[in-house]
Structure 1
Amino acid sequence: MNQLNVVAQDTEHDLPLLQLGRRLQADQYRFITVTPLTHQRVNARAENHRARHLRDIFGWSRPFESELLPEAELRTLMECGLLRAHGGMWLSEVRWSSIDDLLFVHSSFPTTSHDSVFFGPDTYRFAQAIQEHLRTSSHRIQNAVDIGCGSGAGAIVIAQARRDAQVLAVDINPTALRYTAVNAALAEVENVATQPSDLLGNVFGQFDLIVANPPYMQDIQQRAYRHGGENLGSDLSVKIVGQAIERLAPGGTLLLYTGAPSVDGVDIFFKHAWPLFDRPDLSWTYREMDPDVFGEELESATYAMAERIAAVVLTVTRMPAS
């Protein structure tokens, strides 16, 4: 099977979802997704208990009455399971968020199911980190992969900027692969393919660019979209570093956006990841994009010893062959 046909085939049974995205694009719909805590606070306001327009329905995940959507569209969305009844009104099972001129479908608020596809401020920082790398790197990208692609934001940002690259989006979550296929079709990038894989377990070959924005919280419910394992959620990110650096082509780069919890001034993620890339054949950079994210987690017993959680970007590049 031609990889570039995978997205088109995947979206056939999601055609109503793709059509909804195109309708929102035509209506110049835009929505910037905030943190779950901000979302909760804004929706708690008395005037926001029900939807008044499309941004309320598909951005803020507010209950809406049938009159807000055309009858035919409402019926199609109901038949496809994209709406559910709620107190005599309706709720959308999906949300739509913007990055620049791109539109992405992902799970509705709140993300409670184990197959939820998360999108939020981390997604924006991840996309910005990729865009900055693409602006400053002169290395040609022929093959790229987005590990744990979620909504496909990383893969699609790469594919849009490097039209001649083959970009693979992998995830263990079938819903994430579905949404990525829809989002790639909506963005009209034909160089993205989706594939189920646990990290790089089902993927072969070397890559010029590997990107990842993995879950990085230690979640007591171990929800796949949120749980980053032990060491305060750092284990999954460390595992990605270990796998990815062995799959870099000469001159290729791993760009990892993740969270870094600190205990007594020690960066737990960096402490465990550094031995993996402290090698003469690799060069690396490490920086904080935001020194303090998800501060509310520090109130939980899991993070009782943590001082802060930072949003960080690690880049590791394999030296070109001499």
Structure 2
Amino acid sequence: MSVAELRTRPAPNDEAAPRSREEALLALLRAVRESGYRFTTVTPATHARVNGRPQNAAARSLRDVLGWSRPFREGVIPAELTALMERAGVLDRSEDVEGALLKARIRLSSLDDELFLHAAYPPLAADAVFFGPDTMRYAGAVLEHLEERARAGKPAPRRIVDIGCGSGAAGILVAKRLPEAEIILVDINPAALRAARTNARLAGVDNVTALHSDMLRDVEGSFDLITSNPPFMVDAGGRAYRHGGGPLGAGLSLRVVEAAAERLAPGGSLVLFTGSAIVEGEDGFRAEAETICARAGLDASYREFDPDEYGEELDDPGYAEAERIALVILTATRPTAR
């Protein structure tokens, strides 16, 4: 089922239709990959600026259609791709004075020589599946941690969970590198889980399972590695991929730390990539997260990945007291038994 179809329930006697659409979607993604398509997804602010240029009002290439989410006419992309988009249910049709105008309901982004399916721009729906620069930073932080473990002579993690997996990108990249490991992707957003499953199939990894769970509530056992890039913004629209809740958007990030404190195996680590609003020079999220780690006996390290991101968000009343929003990485490890 496509990202755009995720809120559409099939008729009771049409159970084959979702499977047919899912297979058409996968065929589309494979055909696009074979075409040599590559696209680096930018922030929504940059996307708006670039698409706002007069020459970018309509698509002229496949990258424009599936990367920049621009409307297009028949003939701009190969007819077989348009037909697959139609079969997969990811194509909107409208009419203007020049005739039929088409628009894709999905985007495809490149990372680590893979393509990842996510929501088209603008991602306004409450259950939109987001992929952007933070996804790439997050995945990089997780892979860096794996490399550090290997350099230190530590065993590779065998049981791994990505909390709030979104498109599943980070977990899928880990699965590629650790084919013997069990990778569990969890999210409360059905749209994200469907996209993650499709992305795992596209990447050809078979050691990945996507499950619906609020944090780790519906997943059993302990983990050698817990990763997460939870929503951390103050979002009045309550969009699943943005709204962090709690004080200045830190609510979900703190819940991830609490879940890790309960479920990390000896020698296991949490890698949390998130954002923190700094008020009067103080990082409130850091203080609370490190307190949770200390109480659980976890060894924690913390660093600012970028001291000043999302400056435009400071105009939101929810950030009236904040002076900057930093991107941060918290790593917490449970010592092995002695």
Distance in 1 separating the partners of 2:279 and 2:111: 33
Distance in 1 separating the partners of 2:308 and 2:68: 25
Q: Following superposition of structure 1 onto structure 2, how do residues 1-322 of structure 1 map, counting pairs within 5 Å?
A: 13-86=21-94, 87=96, 88-137=100-149, 138-279=154-295, 281-322=297-338
Classify 1:142/1:93 alpha carbon distance in 2 versus 1 (closer, same or farther; 3 Å): same
TM-score if structure 1 supplies the norm length? 0.94
Which residue of structure 1 lines up, in the alignment, with residue 7 of structure 2? none
Quote how far apart the aligned CAs of 1:13 are.
Answer: 4.9
Alpha-carbon displacement from aligned partner over 1:157-188 (angstroms, at most 9, x marks no partner): 11011111000001111111111111111111
Distance in 2 separating the partners of 1:97 and 1:11: 23
The residue matched to 1:151 in structure 2 has which SS?
coil
Distance in 2 separating the partners of 1:12 and 1:282: 47
Identity %: 48
- Amino acid of the structure 2 residue aligned with 1:25: R
Alpha-carbon displacement from aligned partner over 1:13-51 (angstroms, at most 9, x marks no partner): 511221111112111111111110000000001111100
Aligned pairs, number: 313
Distance in 2 separating the partners of 1:309 and 1:140: 33
Quote how far apart the aligned CAs of 1:100 are.
Answer: 2.2
Distance in 1 separating the partners of 2:315 and 2:301: 31
- Amino acid of the structure 1 residue aligned with 2:129: V
Distance in 1 separating the partners of 2:89 and 2:30: 19
Consecutive unaligned residues in structure 2, runs of 5 or more: 1-17
Distance in 2 separating the partners of 1:70 and 1:175: 28
Distance in 1 separating the partners of 2:19 and 2:136: 24
